[in-house]
Structure 1
């Protein structure tokens, strides 16, 4: 009986060790056994070094942001800066027209206040905000109605990625960041939050513009500019002359680096919408952006069977094959430094939705794409990347 128990224990231990070893060293075989996965790695000559169903259209999740980044670079160039226009009427009311600048953070709004003071502005009797460059009621396919910053909606005029960052205690509500004043919109949103520090999105586009206006008012007052009167949303009167055009201090290169590093859905869809409006005319909407993306991608890459519904990868209706992603990565090669680099030899973007795990980028500068459209173990995609790196560094190593 004792020997039987010992033998059983040894068998269980052996099985556990075997499973652990397989899990640690056999990620590529796991992917090859997945019916809803695709993988492609090119060698130094552009030939397939490792491939598994590379032609099948897959849901790319946030790896789609690489395509959004390429479209933006292709259209604007890395040195592009986004504009916001300011007008001053005869009653000393400041009018602001937004065009979807994704980087109107508090520090940037302070720069705007400094520039307005430098132009001689001393007194205002109100602030009017025009967010009509984006169509009203825009809905992002795949976006949930949560308050998570991940789900921040788009807006033509929005501050701090369309989120508020507050700290709520039994004593009251405070701004959770020193560069951002606590405003009425932030107080209103925080009223229903639990105690603690929280960053939540602003769901109403009219509140988005108003929040920008409230931060601008506070920054103007810090510069010694007297601001009285109301802050409200209102279309810009057509006859007002331009008073000041602010070009954001962040170039498109900096915007894309932030988007790809932090996988910011808000930035991705701001860019996607702005592209469509610039080519197809205002107001921005997703159909104009889809039309532009289809035309430009067909012209440049001659793809068939791909679908780009929005720019962030939230939609499960997006489709792209591993072959198409690798083709894109060949074109994106001059900009691969924009991608995150979690460890030496890897420059790549992850993509995650429930039941979806993706990874695309470069391994020792060689393009690869991994799309897993079925449940997979946590960390499998990174293990695959490491095994592919080992294959690149030791070409004789077998790949199963």
Structure 2
């Protein structure tokens, strides 16, 4: 029987939630009325705009309660929930166990930033603990499989990278062609021979592709990359590889390696690069932290639902995954404005441009932007722009907001 996944959906509907408030809001002060009328003339019925002042008062609201597709601005929610449940100083870890006969087990816990530089450091440390590895065992059981993220496709594009408890380099490979030969586009990462056929099949001369064919493809790459760095560190290895959970009765913990990055660091990268893989790694890890392993989409969404509804007090929305890649996600501008109020102490983790700290979202026919505009007095305006009208952008609205908010 096919396993049903993603069955839990964060879904709340208030009676007023779908119809919204049109092009007015009684809480807007008369002095802001002109701005609201200008915004209403730009925004269509499938768009929403809201802004609030540094003191919290509402400045403008257009279709504030209309449920719309947030795209990647949704990442603000998983950032907040991860800070709440995992903590800003939390560090993911990777465990190394010894089994009889110089067998090394690598157990992952969903670290979204397990990258080449980190693996090279791990290999150097382990070279002081062992000289040879007779067999390698990978344990990715901290997350349950299959992991089906709504909206994620099967393309080789990085935004479709699959999630897992033990993944390296975001489950992607970066490459280019030079003098007729394939080479790595990242000096810290070798281009391993096993990925060449997939690169050639992509038809690209340079770029980044994902390892998404199946679960084993990603794990095979994990093993090959660890072997490369083990050899570089002077540890002898073989090609023996199995996939098996740690057995506490016979396996001895050799070393627990905490990440050199905190959750705050992870969130900075999440928001800077809008990385879908990171967003759903956080969701799965958070679900495992709160409800116990293995991490599943349902556990993650239940945890997110509780944070959204109980901690933030929001009752309108539909969340089916954490990155914003799914067009099934729905949120109101008013709810997003509440998220921004809670995220204000962490606004420095967002991308900055001029007066703005912001997060954008892009899907076909969807353009969104949410964040903060610095005020002359040092405070922060909060703004939300959700454009669900195909062919329109957030540019005119943002120009108007920046010009009208001192």
With the length of structure 2 as denominator, give the TM-score of the two structures.
0.85
Residue equivalent to 1:376: 391
Residue equivalent to 2:88: 78
SS of equivalent residue, structure 1 residue 341: strand
Task: From 244, 247, 250, give the equivalent of 2:255.
Answer: 244
Which structure 2 residues correspond to residues 36-51 of structure 1 after superposition, within 5 A?
36-51=46-61
Report the Cα offset of residue 145 of structure 1: 1.5
Alignment CA distance shift 1:182-1:232 (3 Å): farther
Cα distance in 1 for partners of 2:395, 2:117 equals 36
Alignment CA distance shift 1:26-1:382 (3 Å): farther
Larger deviation: 107-116 or 167-176? 167-176
Alignment CA distance shift 1:169-1:233 (3 Å): farther
SS of equivalent residue, structure 1 residue 271: helix
Cα distance in 2 for partners of 1:121, 1:321 equals 55
Residue equivalent to 2:287: 276
Larger deviation: 170-179 or 70-79? 170-179
Report the Cα offset of residue 28 of structure 1: 4.8
Aligned residues: 365
Residue equivalent to 1:125: 134
Residue equivalent to 2:63: 53
Cα distance in 2 for partners of 1:276, 1:225 equals 36
Alignment CA distance shift 1:43-1:177 (3 Å): closer
Which structure 2 residues correspond to residues 1-400 of structure 1 after superposition, within 5 A?
28-29=38-39, 32-118=42-128, 120-168=129-177, 171-194=180-203, 196-203=205-212, 204-239=214-249, 240-342=251-353, 344-364=354-374, 365-377=380-392, 380-393=393-406
By percentage of residues, which structure has more helix?
1
Judge conservation of contact 2:288–2:300 (CA < 8 Å) in 1. Answer: yes
Residue equivalent to 1:4: none
Cα distance in 1 for partners of 2:65, 2:355 equals 26
Judge conservation of contact 2:156–2:202 (CA < 8 Å) in 1. Answer: no
Structure 2 gaps of 5+ residues are 1-34, 375-379
Cα distance in 1 for partners of 2:262, 2:219 equals 22
Judge conservation of contact 2:172–2:211 (CA < 8 Å) in 1. Answer: yes
Rg (Cα) greater in structure: 1
Cα distance in 2 for partners of 1:58, 1:37 equals 8
Cα distance in 1 for partners of 2:203, 2:83 equals 41
Judge conservation of contact 1:206–1:233 (CA < 8 Å) in 2. Answer: no
Structure 1 gaps of 5+ residues are 1-24, 394-400
Judge conservation of contact 1:210–1:233 (CA < 8 Å) in 2. Answer: no
Cα distance in 2 for partners of 1:26, 1:323 equals 15
